[in-house]
Amino acid sequence: MTVKRPSGPQINRRQALGLLAVTAVGGAFVPREALAQDKSLADTSLLMPDAGVCSITPEVTEGPFYFDPELERQDITEGRKGVPLVVRLQAVDAQCRPLARARVDIWHCDAKGIYSGYPGQGDGGNIDTSGQKFLRGIQHTDGRGIVTFRTIYPGWYSGRTTHIHFKVFPDDKSVMTGQLFFPDDLSEHLFASVAPYNHRPHRRDVFNGDDGIARRAGPLSQAALREAVGAYEALLIVAIDAG
């Protein structure tokens, strides 16, 4: 079967790596040197050097495919094939102070646009993943407000741009729901050239600028991407109005 290539932006690997160098920096994101494994994020002034407070991350819909997997784990892949991705989220309050011991849930589709735990999945709507929990997990933030998940780069499904869902529970009585988005050019590079993303018979139909949820979330929900050893890293600060 011939695979139809998307009509959106396309880049090669060299251009993709240049894009990572751009998206790995920015006022709303943890600086690259601050996230090195042997560095400390105790100096929270590093998070927002140009502002006295953190910009509150916009809340968006949780979508139709959430459930609590009841699995506190770092690696959520469960054998799903795809480009390795490390997701690092840092939960802070409006003054950039880390939120320690906050619960963080993430969930997303696999390389073929399939969510675990629900019927009607896949391009044909004929795949039932009820009872499965792949690409879902929870963790509690450390003293720096950080959680790290090991997963795969998410694919896409009709009507939505590429994204990862998350929830942050600062305490037992409150929750912030958001979505993390990826650069279109990098997504298209992977979807066009890497298996199993490029084995799908249909073309991606929605990009970030066409996705109403991505537009509402805005730039504060765009992941900072960089290439690490054997994986990409997606970094996002989630600033929560705890008041």
Q: pTM for the complete prediction?
A: 0.82
- Taking the C-alpha atoms of residue 151 and residue 108, their distance in angstroms, rounded to an integer, is 10
Strands 84-93 vs 231-240: parallel, antiparallel or unpaired: parallel
Q: What is the pLDDT along the chain (243 residues), one digit of tens a residue?
A: 333 333 444 445 545 444 443 333 333 333 333 333 334 333 443 333 444 457 789 999 999 999 999 999 999 999 999 999 999 999 998 888 899 999 999 999 999 999 999 999 999 999 999 999 999 999 999 998 999 999 999 999 999 999 999 999 999 899 999 999 999 999 999 999 999 999 998 888 999 999 999 999 999 999 988 888 889 999 998 999 876
Give the start-to-end residue ranges of the domains of the chain.
Answer: 13-36+54-240
**13-36+54-240: which CATH topology?**
Protocatechuate 3,4-Dioxygenase, subunit A (2.60.130)
**Which burial class, exposed, middle or buried, applies to 20 when counting CB atoms under 10 A from its CB (0-12, 13-18, 19+)?**
middle
Residue 198 DSSP class: G
- Taking the C-alpha atoms of residue 187 and residue 57, their distance in angstroms, rounded to an integer, is 23
Is residue 5 within 8 Å of residue 192, measured between CB atoms?
A: yes
- Taking the C-alpha atoms of residue 89 and residue 180, their distance in angstroms, rounded to an integer, is 10
